[in-house]
Amino acid sequence: MIYPRLKLARNLLTNEGIIFISIDDNELNNLKKLCDEIFGEENFVSLFIWKSKSGGAGDSSRIAVDCEYILSYSKNINLVEINKEIKIKKFDHSDKFSDERGFFNKRNLDETGIRYSESLDFKIEKKNKHVYVDDEKISDSSLFYFDERMILKEFSLVPGGDKNHLKKYTWRWSKNKIVNGLKNGYLCFKTNNYGEIKLIQKSYEFFDTSREIKIANHYTPFRNLLTFTNTSQGTKDIKDLFDGIAYFDYPKPVNLLSHLLKIGSNKNDIILDFFSGSGTMAHAVMDLNSFDDYNRKFILVQISEEIDEKSNAFKSGYKSITEIGKERIRRAGEKIKSESNNKNLDIGFKVFKLDSSNLNKWNPDYNDLEQTLIDSTNNLVEGRTELDLVYEIMLKYGIDLTLAIEEYILDNKKVYSIGYGSLLICLDDNITKEIAIPLIELKNKLSPETIRVVFKDNGFASDSDKTNIKETLKTNNIDEFITI
């Protein structure tokens, strides 16, 4: 089944597009051969090795497997512009990132299994040209960037912890390790114009590429070894949104997908995820848009797979994977927007289900033609809504489904306006010639470059009303008069 999906994926790619395919080691070789055939060997971009598990993996009776792979191909390698370096966020100097010990970048310690400890809570200060660690003098020096993993962190409680414990701050490394690093030359401190002290790490191999911190004008190039995150982080991403409950098994981490988006996407790209699962891709797109002020859009595809009745998700009222995904996107969007400086950030999305046409087909019962004719007077399939039909019309005319749909009442009839009047749809009954004038007035008000008007064929009060409306619109430069 993977072959036709890959063929479709290639057809949907833009000429400069990139595809990332996650796979484990069981099918890696077969997938590589398929991709070479479909995309062409010359369009191979890279094989990313992702350390998906942080600890003792046990997927094999012989070898502990803790890595997965991400194959990347292009449609035309000569047109692809890979983003060659991480564009890293500037350090935030707002008051909420400081205390009496200076400025710092906060991060929940329970992300890495570390808990608050008094041994990690010690004083670092600068006096004259020297740094003191709990009053022990350490010579100062200058260097080009700091390792964020050693900077002051925020302690937050994990489930089952002491709920009355106050939040505290602590260093990521012990005092002995920091002092030893300073004295032996692989750590140093730096003071910038803001006056805060920063702990510096010399060796690039210790730099965590998942951290969005900018240091002077230095950048870290993308690498094909992805060691900065794992599935436990993906579980935490969901638990943070769903009150500490993990509703999905082994989800991809948001920062993994953000990392891939940084490599292969640009300002107005459309990101398509064929297997969206819990909706991590949508979460990553919104999060990255908030960071770099881009306008990426996402399309997620997921079969409405039912959930095990014994699972926590089912007990909480979720009946399918898609229901979890929709709720996750809603919650993630609200959280990202509340934390973003961009209050105009677009976090909206629409949900569509693959189905048959909303229009009744002519399928006569020759034993009861009278009832067949009566039933055919209703255009819509039973259980479908007007909006279902509106979206079907948009699809058939190739109109972007993300466009806003506005509603107007003209001559007591509901008219849907899409694309600022480029498409006007009226699906009401008993339409008379009087609707033509307000339609023309609406067209003049919205001033679309092109316009088409759609009615139900059986919605007119009479044939003469239909003819009069068509001719009146035509004399006012509305030539596309369509009935369904």
At residue 365, what is the residue type? D
pTM: 0.67
Q: Residue 90: which of 220, 215, 197 has the closest Cα?
A: 215
Count CB neighbours of 126 within 10 A. 16
Per-residue confidence in pLDDT tens, the chain, 484 aa = 788 989 999 999 999 999 999 998 889 999 999 999 999 999 999 999 888 876 555 555 667 778 889 999 999 999 988 875 544 444 343 434 444 444 444 433 333 444 556 666 677 766 666 677 888 887 654 432 333 334 333 333 333 344 334 344 566 667 777 777 666 655 655 544 444 445 544 332 222 333 333 322 333 456 677 765 677 888 888 998 998 888 888 888 998 898 899 888 988 899 999 999 999 999 999 999 988 888 999 999 998 889 888 888 888 999 999 999 999 999 999 999 988 877 789 999 999 988 888 877 655 555 665 655 555 556 777 888 889 999 999 998 888 888 889 999 999 999 999 999 999 999 999 999 999 999 999 999 999 989 999 998 888 999 999 999 999 999 999 989 999 8
Task: Give the start-to-end residue ranges of the domains of the chain.
Answer: 1-84, 95-219, 228-351, 378-483
CATH of domain 1-84: 3.40.50.150
What long-range pairs does 245-249 form, CB within 8 A, spacing at least 24? 245/312, 245/316, 246/312, 247/278, 247/311, 247/312, 247/313, 247/316, 247/318, 247/324, 248/277, 248/278, 248/313, 248/321, 248/324
Sheet of 44-51, strands arranged across: 18-23, 67-74, 44-51, 225-226
**Dist CA 165 CA 443 (whole Å):** 63
